[in-house]
Amino acid sequence: MNKKILILNQSFSGVNKYIFYQLREKNWDLTIFDVPFPKKFIFKALISGFNLNIYRWKQQTINNFLRTNQTPENFIWRTRHCQKKITESQQEYDLIFQISGLFSPTRDYGNLKIPYVTFNDYTMSLSKKSGSLAMPTPQIEKWLVLEKQLYQNASLIFSTSENTRNSIINDYQIKPDKVINVKYGISNDDNYRSSEKNKDKSILFVGKNFMRKGGYILLNAFYKIRQEIPEAKLVIVSTDKHTIDKKYIGPGVEIYSYIKDKKRFNALYEKASLFAMPSFCEPFGLVFLEAMNHKLPCIGSKIDAMPEIIIDGVTGFLINPGDIEDLANKIILLLKNPDLSSRMGNSGYDRVKKFFNWEDFGNKIDEKLSALIKI
């Protein structure tokens, strides 16, 4: 028996396709509505990011849009669009599945005739604590009120980490039994076997938002590393390539913007000795799972969901955000001790296979949703 579900979709990455695949595998009949943004926000981002270099313009537009689109006005505008969609078609669905907390399915919760759940990898409260918000304080507080109403009226809330789950419970006063942690996974068909013969003392970084992901911290650490290990290399993959300040780019640094060819992309993982992304703000960090799946030790920061993925001293290392000295020392330690690097890489690989897979993710969500509509 198919179970009909309306997806209110919010996507800034390709991960949603795995969510949809798992739901379809469990006989959920999906209707996906991509919740739009006000055109004026897109226009403002285009104008404010203008650059004669088309690549810089494109990336700056994206960065400006992501930084400025989260306003109470935008939350309400998108909510109205969702409410209209649901009013027109809600009788056809068993429930509503909303991705993110960036809008609500309705402004009139009392008249919503079917249950809704939300799927969250982060909260605005966590963004506020990280200092990554561009909104003035009154707007933040107004947003938090809207977001709290969303969670309070939801039948269930799925989070992708304990960090986000705890924020929803403690920052928004939501009952713990209503918030379910479902960890992201790694695709089962990607089973890589790294060979130590392929390693070339390279450090790999993969991240879209170069500054927020700690890219400049890594670049500064790298020059300390080169003094100790002259043959070390830093390989950066980032769509921010054309915005990275050239004064930071020196010998041993290779930068790629976007690599479509999966074999070529995997080759970077296969050659790398370790993966490092010392983020200042990281809702989850799927790229760490990718690196661990390639048997690479990982270095991240002691914040957000990163300590739930990387076991400090076992599958890699965790540093305080912005600690250039410690980051450099940890990388030097791994590059000089291939046996330690290999042990950590193998431990990470085992951890990924045991705790992070899409099948478990899908089973848990299906179980909770089916119980909600009593199927």
Would you kindly state where each structural domain of the chain is located, as residue ranges?
Answer: 3-185+357-372, 196-355
User: Is the pLDDT assigned to residue 67 strictly greater than 70?
Assistant: no
Tokens standing for residue 278: 């010392």
On whether the CB atoms of residues 134 and 153 are closer than 8 A, the answer is no
What's the token pair of residue 375? Answer: 């199927």
The two structure tokens encoding residue 240: 């921010």
Determine how many CB atoms are found less than 10 A away from the CB of residue 230. 10
Taking alpha carbons only, the member of 265, 341, 255 closest to residue 299 is: 341
Q: What is the pTM of this model?
A: 0.90
- The confidence score (pLDDT) of residue 14 equals 78
Query: What confidence tens digit (pLDDT) does each residue in 230-251 have?
Result: 999 999 999 888 888 889 899 9
The answer on pLDDT for 65 being more than 80 is no
- Using CA atoms, how far apart are residues 375 and 373, in angstroms rounded to an integer? 6
Of 216, 201, 226, the closest CA to residue 255 belongs to 216
Q: Do 54 and 237 form a contact (C-beta atoms < 8 A)?
A: no
Between CA 297 and CA 275 the distance in angstroms is 6
Nearest Cα residue to 313 out of 286, 344, 334: 344
Of 3.40.920.10, 2.60.420.10, 3.40.50.2000, 3.40.50.2300, the CATH number of 196-355 is: 3.40.50.2000
Q: Which two tokens stand for residue 191?
A: 């089973």
Fold topology of 3-185+357-372: Rossmann fold (3.40.50)
Quick one: which of 225, 242, 243 has its CA closest to 234?
Answer: 225
Of the pLDDT bands very low, low, confident and very high (cuts 50, 70, 90), residue 37 is: confident
**Interacting residues of 153 by C-beta distance below 8 A, sequence separation 6+:** 109, 112, 116
Name the residue among 199, 235, 233, 231 with its Cα closest to residue 215.
235
**Mean pLDDT confidence for 95-116:** 94
Q: What is the pLDDT of residue 64?
A: 66
Looking at residue 133, its pLDDT comes to 76
Degrees to nearest 5, angle at CA 354 with 335 and 270? 35
For residue range 143-171, what is the model confidence (pLDDT) as tens digits? 999 999 999 999 999 999 999 999 999 99
In this model, does residue 194 exceed pLDDT 60? no
What's the whole-number mean pLDDT along residues 357-372?
A: 95
Alpha carbons 130 and 306: distance in angstroms, whole number? 14
Other beta carbons within 10 Å of 217:
23
According to DSSP, residue 330 is labeled: H
Longest dimension (CA), the chain: 66
Per-residue tokens: 311:
């076991």
